[in-house]
């Protein structure tokens, strides 16, 4: 039987628009449907819609600019965190659009994403990149700014087994942060393994995806959830 790679409508739409980088909202929808745990995120095209979504998913929320032309949202003034009231959402929406229009007047703006704030935990990164020689390579390490500063990561060629996933987690120098320290409870390692396995399967199911970043993934005693996501398609 001939194997045909899965072409998701989100990927097809991006292709039709000449884009290879999916927006955060598109990335999370695609990944969520593939069984990867992502924080609830919806796109708002107006201030009133942002408030309505915030009330539906529950406070506190975060707002982020959604634009295919803006990669570093925080540095552009396109992120507002920990919003707990409708009035704060309205103000944050106005501030984000004002700052973006001033700094990037030619940027295409689809709207502002509204997402549920995740519970505190250890920030880790899970990613995958398609290597020309080895195929898709899975990555795990400390996330947030630490991935750039410490570069504390482990790698495996996909597909991986649960044993592989467990070894990847234990190999990083920051593993002790996941086992509990000071007043920080241990993270649910099995949920991190689940996410690594799901991302591994995703790379097999979608060979047209060249790169994937989940950073940060918040790991705590309740599980693991991706707060930010980025999917890049092959040119």
pLDDT 10s digits, 124-150: 999 999 999 999 999 999 987 666 666
Beta-carbon contacts of 88 under 8 Å, excluding residues fewer than 6 positions away, are none
pLDDT value, residue 4: 46
pTM for this predicted structure: 0.91
pLDDT value, residue 2: 39
Looking at the chain, how many residues does it have?
235
pLDDT value, residue 147: 64
Give residue for tokens 């320290």: 181
What are the pLDDT tens digits along the chain (235 aa)?
A: 334 456 799 999 999 999 999 999 999 999 999 999 999 999 999 999 999 999 999 999 999 999 989 988 888 899 999 999 999 999 999 999 999 999 999 999 999 999 999 999 999 999 999 999 999 999 999 987 666 666 789 999 999 999 999 999 999 999 999 999 878 899 999 999 999 999 999 999 999 999 999 999 999 999 999 999 999 999 8
Long-range contacts of 185-190 (CB under 8 A, 24+ apart): 185/220, 185/221, 186/221, 187/121, 187/122, 187/219, 187/220, 187/221, 187/224, 188/219, 188/220, 188/221, 188/222, 188/223, 188/224
Closest by alpha carbon to 89, among 119, 118, 114, 116? 114
**Burial per residue of 58-74, b for 16 or more beta-carbon CB atoms within 10 angstroms, e otherwise:** eeebbbbbbbbebeebe
Structure tokens at 203: 């790379």
3-state secondary structure of 58: coil
pLDDT value, residue 149: 62
DSSP state of 71: S
Phi, psi of 19 (to 5 degrees): -105, 145
Cis preceding-peptide flag for 159 (omega within 30 of 0)? yes
pLDDT value, residue 148: 66
pLDDT value, residue 7: 78
- Over residues 32-69, the pLDDT tens digits come to 999 999 999 999 999 999 999 999 999 999 999 999 89
38 has which bridge partners?
226
Q: What DSSP string describes 145-212?
A: THHHHT--EEEEESS--HHHHHHHHHHSGGGGGGS-BTTBPPP-HHHHHHHHHHHHHHHHH-TTEEEE
pLDDT value, residue 151: 76
Contact 197, 190 (CB under 8 A): no
Where would I find the H helices in the chain?
9-16, 24-33, 47-57, 86-103, 146-149, 162-171, 189-205
Distance CA 185, CA 233 (A): 37
pLDDT value, residue 152: 86
Contact 182, 87 (CB under 8 A): no
């Amino acid at each position: 039987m001939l194997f045909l790679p899965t072409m998701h409508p989100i990927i097809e739409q991006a292709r039709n628009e000449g884009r290879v980088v999916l927006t955060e909202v598109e990335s999370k929808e695609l990944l969520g449907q593939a069984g990867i745990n992502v924080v609830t995120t919806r796109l708002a095209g107006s201030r009133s819609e942002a408030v309505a979504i915030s009330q539906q998913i529950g406070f506190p929320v975060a707002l982020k600019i959604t634009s295919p032309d803006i990669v570093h949202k925080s540095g552009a003034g396109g992120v507002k965190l920990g919003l707990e009231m409708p009035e704060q959402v309205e103000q944050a929406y106005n501030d984000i659009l004002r700052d973006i229009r001033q700094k990037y007047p030619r940027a295409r703006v689809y709207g502002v994403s509204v997402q549920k704030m995740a519970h505190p935990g250890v920030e880790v990164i899970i990613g995958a990149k398609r290597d020309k020689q080895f195929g898709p390579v899975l990555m795990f390490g400390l996330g947030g700014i630490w991935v750039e500063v410490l570069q504390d990561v482990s790698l495996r060629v996909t597909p991986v087994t649960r044993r592989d996933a467990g070894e990847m987690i234990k190999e990083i120098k920051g593993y002790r942060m996941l086992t509990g320290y000071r007043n920080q409870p241990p993270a649910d390692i099995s949920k991190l393994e689940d996410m690594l396995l799901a991302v591994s399967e995703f790379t097999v199911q979608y060979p047209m995806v060249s790169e994937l970043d989940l950073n940060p993934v918040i790991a705590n005693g309740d599980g693991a959830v991706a707060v930010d996501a980025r999917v890049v398609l092959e040119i």
